[in-house]
Structure 1
Amino acid sequence: MKLTISRKALADLMAKGGSAAAKNSPVPIIGHARLVAKAGVLRVSTTDFEMQAEAFAEAAVEAEGAATVSAEKLTQIVGRLPPDASISLSLEGADVVLKASPGRTRLKLATLPLDLWPALDFKADGAAVFDLTGGELTRLFARTYESAKVNNTATTIACVFLHARDWRGTPSLAAVGTNGHICIVTAVALPEGAEAMPVRGGQAGVLLSFETVAAALRLFKGAEKVRIRVTDRVIALEDGHARLISKLIDATYPDYQRIIPAPSPTRAIMNRARGLSVVTLLESFSTKDQGHKLECGAGTDGLIVAASEAGGEGFDQVDATIEGEITPFGVSSLYLKLMLNAYGVERVALSFGERGAAILVSADDEPDTLGVLMPMRVAGDLVRRLSA
């Protein structure tokens, strides 16, 4: 193996193709990246046994071949070379020799046997095949991933559920993430072929680990088109520059639709940006030992938000239109901030049912996303005292 490639191209390959390498593993080979130089292309792949990331770019290949090297070490080296460097890689005996020009840099990286590298096998026979844009993939995964991951210790829901479902009377591809206290579900138009995904719990869909979703966002966030293939065990995503193969979680996702409350005429339609500002300001007083609790209630000109702990207290008001009688309620600042960040519109609505019932979060200008917040019990004294 012998090739030349720009530092920028190799850095991008390591950032993407090297992203699945395991760190501090007792199995050294899964900390190694597999480099394959063939037909004018360098492919960089890493795996942790459950997931495999691969990225490819053009290179001046003088001699075709393959080798494995430490993914962490090669990433560090490339990151420390001058931005305009030209890098040559060549296999010399049991080492990969890296040279950089301009300059006289010469570094030697130890290899491990190629046959030890545990490539994931993806058999496409019978797979469901469909396409998403990078924007659609980001819409489905970014919000749901955050809501499922935060403070999640329940293994049965520690994932993102990607599935076909009816959304407001339209066939859609939806993703949902929840940790039992917050839930976000979002949808895009159902792409042709997605309905053929394996059926679990009566719905065509698959369960993706946090690691898989995070890797998909890193690799395909700005992609023009992502081709997705799904079997009952494995998912593969590819965009012409990178590929991700991952095993699926073998479980049935809970019936999350049961926890989504119906819209209520009792609502607070609030300015989203102002809400984020207020929550960020007051979260200094919503401490972890109190569950990051904020106390909220209706004010004369909007929604009052208050917090109190041993080190102090504070309150502020969010511009909002109050419809109906809102009983003072508590909510985690961590979850409310995450929920408000899930939307990209000016105003969002919090809908309230009976006291203590789940709060529905929605936006008229973003109807393909719904959120659910479980409230915290409060007496309401703090809101009444600080707003007096």
Structure 2
Amino acid sequence: MKFSIERGVLLKAVAQAQSVVERRNTIPILANVLIEAAGGEVRFRATDLDIEVVDRAAATVEAEGATTVAAVLLNEIVRKLPDGALVTLTDQGGNGRLSIEAGRSNFQLATLPKEDFPVMASSEYEASFTALAPVLRRLFDKAKFAISTEETRYYLNGVYMHVAEGDGGRVLRCVATDGHRLARIDAELPEGAEKMAGVIVPRKTVNELRKLLDDDEALIEVSVSETKVRFVTPSITLTSKVIDGTFPDYSRVIPQNNAKRLEVDASEFAKAVDRVATVSSERSRAVKLSLEEDRLVLSVNAPDSGAAEEELAVAYGDERLEIGFNAKYLQEIANQVDRENAVFLFNSSGDPTLMREGDDTSAVYVVMPMRV
């Protein structure tokens, strides 16, 4: 195998592959990337047995072939090569070495046989549809902050993507929750998604997928089966197992009758929460919201370190209310708001609070209160 490729193109492909590779694993081949050169392109394939990413890049192929090499090491080498360099990779076969040449630099890396590399079994996908990258980006970006990190409730360790009934008909919906906060994001249902099974996309897959969604013009092909989900861009294919579990009935958690309405500048609110939370103890991070007509006072009282208070002008016309929240949760929810104003809907100091962006109901957030 021998091919030449521009350093920037190679770096993009290798960086994508090495991020999938698990740093700590007991199977040496899983630390490697499979490089396959054929025709006028090179494919870089990496897997951790749960996710597989294949990145295709244009290259000048002199001799076709395939080999595997340490992904993280290859990424480090390519990253340190000069911008614009032409990189030539050569595998003689038989000597267990991959040669990397760029200008006056020459590296020899150990290889492992391509036959040992595990390729994820193909799946029969029950539903396939296409969506613009910004649509998928919004669905996953706005939901992922609420993914649980608690391994015992493994079915909450991802984003639940499914077809649901929205205000104006059926929608493509992403939901994530950790039991303390919940995010529910809707988008127009793409053609072909109607029969899609609901799947829980794992946290690591959500993070890897995010790297594919930066191009606003890109059309992403999504295929879903009961066990796998696949995302295809013009140059990258990301295939992942889905979490084998049942996502809870989240609709029971979303309050329907919260009538006390607070409207506040989302950016100012997030900054004010951050400021007053500075003095709170790291363990609880509790912030109290005291509401009365058109006035909100954020306060923290931490016996060990001190107290803080900040007042904000808001739109609020209901009875006086005092309610406490984890400062981190409040900030994360407020930071999801793309519009100027965030609307909070309260019931009482002990009930879940609903938050949305202005009058837009396509993105809804729920946060549980704390005792303060």
State the TM-score bracket (shorter-chain normalisation). Answer: over 0.9
Deviation at 1:194, TM superposition (A): 1.2
Contact 1:330 1:375 in 2 (8 A): yes
Deviation at 1:367, TM superposition (A): 2.6
Aligned to 1:260: 254
Which secondary structure state, in structure 2, belongs to the residue aligned with residue 45 of structure 1?
A: strand
Which secondary structure state, in structure 2, belongs to the residue aligned with residue 84 of structure 1?
A: coil
Which secondary structure state, in structure 2, belongs to the residue aligned with residue 195 of structure 1?
A: coil
Amino acid at match of 1:77: I
The CA distance in 2 between the partners of 1:278 and 1:95, in whole Å, is 57
Which secondary structure state, in structure 2, belongs to the residue aligned with residue 186 of structure 1?
A: strand
Aligned to 2:371: 377
The CA distance in 2 between the partners of 1:121 and 1:268, in whole Å, is 51
Which secondary structure state, in structure 2, belongs to the residue aligned with residue 19 of structure 1?
A: helix
The more displaced of 358-367 and 162-171 is 358-367
Aligned to 2:139: 140
Aligned to 1:29: 29
The CA distance in 2 between the partners of 1:120 and 1:112, in whole Å, is 18
Deviation at 1:165, TM superposition (A): 0.5
Q: Deviations over 1:137-177 (max 9, x none)?
A: 11111121111146776323121100000111321000001
Deviation at 1:300, TM superposition (A): 5.7
Aligned to 1:95: 97
Contact 2:17 2:71 in 1 (8 A): no
Q: 1:243 aligns with which of 213, 234, 237?
A: 237
The CA distance in 1 between the partners of 2:332 and 2:59, in whole Å, is 42
* TM-aligned CA distance change 1:365 to 1:41, over 3 Å: farther
Deviation at 1:365, TM superposition (A): 4.9
Aligned to 2:49: 49
Segments of 5+ residues of structure 1 without an aligned counterpart are 199-204, 379-388
The CA distance in 2 between the partners of 1:18 and 1:306, in whole Å, is 45
The more displaced of 43-52 and 256-265 is 256-265
Which secondary structure state, in structure 1, belongs to the residue aligned with residue 163 of structure 2?
A: strand
Superposed, 1:307-326 pairs within 5 Å as 307-309=300-302, 310-326=304-320
Superposed, 1:131-210 pairs within 5 Å as 131-149=130-148, 154-198=153-197, 205-210=198-203
Root-mean-square deviation (Å): 1.5
Q: 2:297 aligns with which of 289, 296, 304?
A: 304
The CA distance in 2 between the partners of 1:329 and 1:152, in whole Å, is 30
Deviation at 1:250, TM superposition (A): 1.2
Which secondary structure state, in structure 2, belongs to the residue aligned with residue 154 of structure 1?
A: helix
Aligned to 2:341: 347
Alignment pair present for 1:232 and 2:226: yes
* TM-aligned CA distance change 1:287 to 1:143, over 3 Å: farther
Deviation at 1:189, TM superposition (A): 0.3
The CA distance in 1 between the partners of 2:151 and 2:292, in whole Å, is 33
Identity of aligned residues (%): 28
Aligned to 2:105: 105
Which secondary structure state, in structure 2, belongs to the residue aligned with residue 196 of structure 1?
A: coil
The more displaced of 358-367 and 231-240 is 358-367
Deviation at 1:65, TM superposition (A): 0.8
Aligned to 1:384: none
Contact 1:297 1:303 in 2 (8 A): yes
Contact 2:126 2:224 in 1 (8 A): yes
The CA distance in 1 between the partners of 2:243 and 2:343, in whole Å, is 34
Segments of 5+ residues of structure 2 without an aligned counterpart are none
Q: Deviations over 1:118-142 (max 9, x none)?
A: 1111233x52101111101111111
Aligned to 2:268: 274
Contact 1:157 1:178 in 2 (8 A): yes
The CA distance in 1 between the partners of 2:317 and 2:149, in whole Å, is 31
Deviation at 1:106, TM superposition (A): 0.6
Contact 2:17 2:53 in 1 (8 A): yes
Which secondary structure state, in structure 1, belongs to the residue aligned with residue 269 of structure 2?
A: helix
Amino acid at match of 1:321: A
Aligned to 1:119: 119
Amino acid at match of 2:69: V
Q: Deviations over 1:273-294 (max 9, x none)?
A: 10011012122123232x2100
TM-score (norm 1): 0.91
- After TM superposition, which residue ranges in structure 1, 4 or more long, deviate above 3 angstroms? 149-153
Q: Deviations over 1:45-68 (max 9, x none)?
A: 110011101111100111111110
Alignment pair present for 1:292 and 2:271: no
Aligned to 2:358: 364
Deviation at 1:299, TM superposition (A): 4.8
Which secondary structure state, in structure 2, belongs to the residue aligned with residue 360 of structure 1?
A: strand
Which secondary structure state, in structure 2, belongs to the residue aligned with residue 371 of structure 1?
A: strand
Aligned length: 368
Aligned to 2:13: 13
Amino acid at match of 1:240: P
The CA distance in 2 between the partners of 1:216 and 1:360, in whole Å, is 28
Alignment pair present for 1:76 and 2:76: yes
* TM-aligned CA distance change 1:363 to 1:337, over 3 Å: same
Deviation at 1:212, TM superposition (A): 1.0
The CA distance in 1 between the partners of 2:311 and 2:39, in whole Å, is 63
* TM-aligned CA distance change 1:337 to 1:151, over 3 Å: farther
The CA distance in 1 between the partners of 2:335 and 2:320, in whole Å, is 23
Amino acid at match of 1:334: K
TM-score (norm 2): 0.95
The CA distance in 1 between the partners of 2:280 and 2:251, in whole Å, is 30
Alignment pair present for 1:283 and 2:277: yes
Aligned to 2:205: 212
